[in-house]
Amino acid sequence: MIPIKLYLVLSGVLFVIGTSGVLVRKNVLVMLMSVEIMLNAVNLAFVSFARYMMLPKGQVYVFFSITVAAAEVIVGLAIIISIFHKKESMDVDDMNVLKG
Amino acid sequence: MFSYLFMPIIIVVFTGLLVLLYDVLAVNVRKEHLLFISLAGLIISTLYSAILWGLPFSFMKGMLVSDNFSIIFSVFFLLSSAFILLISYTYLNDNNLNVGEYYALVLFATAGMMFMASTFNLIVLYLGLELLTLPLAILICFKKGRDFSHEASLKFFILSVFSSAFFLFGIAFMFGAAGTINIAQVAGDFSTHAVISLPYLLISAGLLILGLGFKISSVPFHIWTPDVYHGAPTPVTAFLSAGAKVAGFAALIRIFFYLFPGIHLSLTEVFIVLSVITMTLGNIVAIAQRNIKRMLAYSSIAHSGYVLMVLTVFTPASISSAIFYLMVYVIANLGAFGIVLALRQKDREYIDIMHFSGLAWKRPLLAGFMAIFMLSLAGVPPTAGFMGKFYLFSVTVKNGFTGLVIAGLINSVLAAYYYLRIVYLMYMKEEKENVPVTLFPSLGVSLFILGIAAIYFGIFPSPIISLFKTTLFH
């Protein structure tokens, strides 16, 4: 049997890839996709823990997570589309009216 | 038979749906009716929560609980949402935003906050968090045709889902550590020395703090706050600074009070560092702000720092002082945003701090209330803010963190500068530009109630503090 650590390493690597995608990439759509990678890394962690401990409820939590991710994508795409109508751009560097 | 436990949340959700339906189906929709329906729902739900006081209940192994802690926070959320609706009414009319969706989204977000405060199950907490975040993202870009409101919404959205991913990862590690994500059960297992993997639990704690740090805008994760507060429509900014932040604290207290009595030592330092840098950065940057909304954004960051100060040790005394401080902060902040909403004509807003010059000569009552709210945020007696800070600092000293209190006091002095600058401008300066004032009945009434509350809790704080102290954890 493959040890749990390997699954967690994979999940962690995916999570880091997603995180760096959000932090580094400039395209809003790619940032949204990176967030999805992060959420899927979490799902992988949930499922592998559930399998490792033989607790099926861990897999049920994944359903909640998937549902929320779908809702997030809907709202996110709606916001991105309304920005695109206005600016004809998806680059975060063009979104510089507000300066933190 | 458990259904009445759900009632406060159910009422809020159904009121939201009812408002939506009414807006779509009714012939001749009267905009006042939308407000009345939503307010009625919020008030009925508040009364229902009050009935449940002192009757602790737990449903499905803590997936939904109703204890005094959750009721205090629910009432808190319901009332602040009611005030938000009251202060936003004419603003919505003037900007052509007065549609059922606005009320429905505020109500759904309120339901999300109530879920966050009334559960032991982390996945339910996560769902509540998302139910709060997604309506907020929509509300922030509610004002069509403004560049920066969309930009603010996008920033808020990306950083929120980013931070909730961390939060969810924390939940996954909690599950891996203990085999359950029920906080009370994990805590019970921990005290009976059942098999719990400590490294996983610590990773989980770190990720949970990171995820919630975004919500309460504590410092390394505060970057979104000023931009979003500036870009959002003003009533939504008030909602963000009042309800959304308090919900983050409710979740933080719920998780860490119940979960980490055993492994405090390793987390105390984390909260000390977060607290000091949060309040210092918030206060220093707030001094430089010319825009009142950005100033209040940095001030709200600083106030998170003060509350984190007392959360270094999770005892009943610290929790009740934190809740009292949050209540005081919300009262003053809602009032301040209410005044910002009053300085406006139609859809043009006057949000530079110089626009407050000479307000006292033109509208003495309005300026008086603004002075009360500013003094309360600064923590000057006899306002509620002073009692909140006093109680917070004295509990921190009792917890043994005198250095932290000294940092807090220095920060209060810094903060007094930019709050009192507004008071100074209002009373000591000549009016430069003719700033119109739009005051309407519902805003006036809410400002009056908030102003009275800000004074009342400063003079008679003991009943409510002893209420928190004696009944919070029974």
- Residue pLDDT, tens place only, A34-73: 999 999 999 999 999 999 988 888 899 999 999 999 999 9
Where along chain A do its domains lie? 4-90
Count of CB pairs separated by less than 8 Å, A with B:
103
ipTM of predicted assembly, 2 dp: 0.95
Structure tokens at B255: 């998780």
B288 interface with A at CB cutoff 8 Å: no
B233 interface with A at CB cutoff 8 Å: no
Give the model's pLDDT for residue B400.
Answer: 86
Give the tens place of pLDDT for each residue, B125-163. 999 999 999 999 999 988 876 668 888 999 999 999 999
Measured between beta carbons, which residues in chain B are less than 8 angstroms from residue A63? none
Nearest to B147 among A32, A42, A86 (CB): A86
Give the model's pLDDT for residue B418.
Answer: 92
Substitution target from B150, B174, B294 for chain A, most A beta carbons within 10 A: B150
Are the Cβ atoms of B175 and A28 closer than 8 angstroms?
no
The CATH code that applies to domain A4-90 is: 1.10.287.3510
B157 interface with A at CB cutoff 8 Å: yes
Give the model's pLDDT for residue B474.
Answer: 55
SS3 of B57, please?
strand
Measured between beta carbons, which residues in chain B are less than 8 angstroms from residue A87? 147
Task: Scan residues 200-229 of B and list those with Cβ closer than 8 Å to A.
Answer: 223-224, 226-227
d(CA B407, CA B47): 40
Give the model's pLDDT for residue B263.
Answer: 56
SS3 of B205, please?
helix
Are the Cβ atoms of B161 and A28 closer than 8 angstroms?
no
Give the model's pLDDT for residue B2.
Answer: 59
Nearest to A79 among B150, B168, B227 (CB): B150
d(CA B303, CA A33): 34
- Specify the residue for token string 């999770």: B314
Torsion region of B61: left, alpha or beta (phi above 0 gives left; psi -120 to 50 gives alpha): left
Number of other residues whose CB lies within 10 A of the CB of residue B226: 27
Number of other residues whose CB lies within 10 A of the CB of residue B439: 17
Nearest to A68 among B130, B150, B179 (CB): B130
B6 interface with A at CB cutoff 8 Å: no
Averaged pLDDT, groups of 10, chain B, 474 residues long: 76 94 84 91 93 81 86 93 92 84 95 93 94 94 79 91 94 89 80 73 89 89 90 92 91 84 67 92 92 93 92 84 93 93 83 87 90 93 91 90 92 92 90 81 92 92 84 65
Nearest to B169 among A45, A79, A82 (CB): A45
Chain B: residue nearest A54 by CA?
Answer: B179
Are the Cβ atoms of B127 and A68 closer than 8 angstroms?
yes
In this prediction the pTM is 0.93
Chain A: residue nearest B226 by CA?
Answer: A100
Give the closest-approach CA distance of B301 to chain A in angstroms.
13
d(CA B275, CA B268): 11
Give the closest-approach CA distance of A78 to chain B in angstroms.
9
Measured between beta carbons, which residues in chain B are less than 8 angstroms from residue A83? 150-151, 154
Chain B: residue nearest A4 by CA?
Answer: B176
Cα of A3 vs its chain's centroid, Å: 25
Are the Cβ atoms of A42 and B152 closer than 8 angstroms?
no
- Of B275, B312, B250, give the one whose Cα is nearest residue B472: B250
Where along chain B do its domains lie? 263-474
d(CA B262, CA B166): 23
d(CA B257, CA B44): 30
Nearest to B176 among A31, A49, A83 (CB): A49
**C-beta separation of B77 from B1 below 8 A:** no
Substitution target from A4, A85, A97 for chain B, most B beta carbons within 10 A: A97
Give the closest-approach CA distance of B303 to chain A in angstroms.
19
